Amino acid sequence: MSDETLVALGEDYPDLRDSVRKICAAYPGSYWNDLEDQQAYPTAFVDELTRAGFLGALIPEEYGGSGLPLRAAAVILEEINAAGCVASQGHAQMYIMGTLLRHGSEAQKRHYLPEIAAGRLRLQAFGVTEPTTGSDTTQLKTRAIRDGDSYRVTGQKVWTSRALHSDMMLLLARTTPADQAKKRSDGLSVFLVDMRAKNTGQGLEVRPIKAMINHNTTEVFFDNFRIPADSLIGQEGRGFRYILDGMNAERILVASEAVGDGRWFVRKATQYAKDRVVFGAPIGRNQAVQFPIARAWAELEAADMICRRAAALFDDGKDCGADANIAKLLASEAAWKAADTAMQTFGGFSYAREYEIERKWREVRLYQIAPISTNLILGYVGQHVLGMPRSY
């Protein structure tokens, strides 16, 4: 491993970007608006991304994937959102499988990864958040109790997006009661759960949650739901560490999505500012219109560079925790600034669905809340980067 880490400049992976753009061109805003009306899942879009190998980008070639670096996966997600499409409906498969890849047994990897890469199994659901614990993952209450050659799972998960459209779920559950664990983070285990028995009366119930954006989010109820003992990934009780191990990749990928959204807004606002004529001149001639768009572009460029640096460190196997978190922070805020600027540029027309501004505007606000909030990132930086006391 070299001491140097190289960061690509400009439009890296041009062929990959071009391939993604060609797919996205067939899924215009009307496609996404219709899905929102129906609260439906973009099955056709996700299937096409899968057939093209994009959702298996990080799965090694020996397991049927493309074996691409994280930066390439980030480019895929960035381009999807920059084209006006929605990457979040398929992005989970990219980073969820990392837990299986890094900590699963060879038998598990050979059984599941080729099926996921080929699209015969969809791994889109991530069962972590609970109604009463929120971001305090170590206090989750879902239990998995060993019972012979199986585990019995009881508990509830919430904001589990895509659970109704996923065959498998990566589940974090407590296998040792909290009061018997040496540390709060001990006693949690990760399972790869087959969800194809959902809503069949076997103890796994999935219910949709109506939300401001169409992420097909759900709440999931486990009632003595039996899963095979070999659903366990890695060692029992070490699941919290396994989940943390994949969070840097998640941060980088989601930050890249935010950059893509921001670029879409800037492009839309710029074109509208050129075309919209009021009082005999394009509105982009006015500094009050032009300067906010220029600033939004500049902030996106800065966020993009941190995303690239974080991905380069990750791909080099170096510590990227600070960069991954900062990338998520800066990209989420830059995307929101771009979205709000586009809303203001379009004025009243931004509320018209045909322009797509209001839909994407609602979507990018989520980046400052999930998968990790802005304040939690600031707490991480304050404590782990700057060495200040743990904040409360």
> Tens digit of pLDDT for each residue in 350-380?
999 999 999 999 999 999 999 999 999 999 9
Phi, psi of 95 (to 5 degrees): -95, -25
pLDDT digits (tens, 9 = 90+) for 313-361: 999 999 999 999 999 999 999 999 999 999 999 999 999 999 999 999 9
- Average pLDDT over every residue of 52-72: 95
Q: Give the Cα separation of 212 and 209 in Å (integer).
A: 10
pLDDT digits (tens, 9 = 90+) for 3-34: 789 888 889 999 999 999 999 999 999 999 99
pLDDT of residue 2: 57
**Is 365 in contact with 215 (CB distance < 8 Å)?**
no
**pLDDT of residue 1 exceeding 70:** no
Mean pLDDT over 193-201 rounds to 95
**Which neighbouring-strand residues pair with 221?**
156, 205
Tens of pLDDT, residues 63-76: 999 999 999 999 99
Domains of the chain: 14-118 (1.10.540.10), 123-237 (2.40.110.10), 241-385 (1.20.140.10)
Its pTM stands at: 0.94
Classify 218 as helix, strand or coil: strand
Strands 168-174, 123-127: pairing kind: parallel
Average pLDDT of every residue of the chain: 94
Q: Is the pLDDT of residue 178 over 90?
A: no
Contact 354, 29 (CB under 8 A): yes
